Amino acid sequence: MHRRHFLKAAAAVALLPRLAWPAQQPDQASPFYVMDTWFWQAEKDLTIPDQIALIKKLGYAGLALSWGMQHAERLAALKEAGLRTPGCYIVVDIDGPYPDHLKQCVTLLKGSGGLVWLALTSKKHKRSDAAGDAAALDILTRCADECKQSDVPGIALYPHVGFWMERMADAIRLASQAKRPEIGVQFNQYHWMAADAGQDLSRTLEAARPYLKGVSINGSSKQPSILPLGEGDYDPAPILKALVDLNYKGSISHQGYSIKGNLPQRLAAAKDAWDQINRKIRQP
């Protein structure tokens, strides 16, 4: 999208009727973020300041980051705009020593309020193999110590299909063993649908609730896919309703990997779908 076209589309979006983002109250929605994956395939002239200006205009709370994807530039732009980040996604191999990039991620997030969204891989251990737990816990303990020392809220273990820690049960198992308030889990709708076949939602969230530090959602087909909210034939409302019933008030982020084409319009439509779902599930 050429810059003049982007500005024209963004201006049109600004004319759409929108709900103002209110101060969070006990009976209101969690803060709603965009994941930077929305912008991985964006046109080059949609600059980082343009991206942040767009999500601010649309009423999102901020942007989730990904390590190695212009994370520092995006965090600086968020701070300049007065927006927040719920966390920074980062991948670590449990087979090796404590990685420098994990330490650097903690340093990046210092004072931001964002969590380390930690995905774990291994070549030594098969997917979900608890034999890797000890190595993983060594890394988690050191990272939790660094978070505590650096004014970072902690770690959200991020299950990812195809990784060693790919299922919600894997992340919950590690968090329960760690017994550290800094170490929790992230529920990611897409990876739960792909790795856990989208089964046992209530049981999964109830098991995760003591450790739940973040949630990622998206629109989807009934077969796991990533679409803007409001698109696809999979209804994410039961996920949000279950979170309300569990009194979850943490961050919720919209996954955007592979979404492309007219981002101002699709981000606006996704925010509207979010507002509509929340009005529906919170009706008396």
* Cβ atoms of 160 and 190 closer than 8 Å: no
Query: What is the torsional sign of CA 212, 216, 217, 220?
Result: negative
Tokens for 240, please give them: 């949000």
State whether residue 242 is helix, strand or coil: helix
pLDDT in tens, 49-85: 999 999 999 999 999 999 999 999 999 999 999 999 9
- State the average pLDDT over residues 32-57: 94
Q: How confident is the model at residue 194 (pLDDT cuts 50, 70, 90)?
A: very high
Which amino acid is present at 111? Answer: G
Task: Tell the residue number behind the tokens 């988690």, with chain if given.
Answer: 140
What is the C-alpha R_g of the chain? Answer: 18
pLDDT at 43: 78
Domain 28-278 coded CATH 3.10.580.10: no
By mean pLDDT, which of 21-25, 53-57, 107-111, 236-240 is the weakest?
21-25
Sign (positive or negative) of CA dihedral 80, 84, 88, 89:
negative
C-beta neighbour count of 273 within 10 angstroms: 18
Number of Cβ within a 10 Å radius of residue 280: 11
- Judged by DSSP in three states, 234 sits in strand
Q: For position 121, what pLDDT does the model report? A: 98
Element (H, E) at 216: strand 212-217
Q: Are β-strands 32-35 and 183-188 bridged in parallel, bridged antiparallel, or unpaired?
A: unpaired
> Tokens at residue 143, please?
């990272």
Q: In this structure, what is the dihedral angle of CA atoms 148, 149, 152, 156, given to the nearest 10 degrees?
A: -40
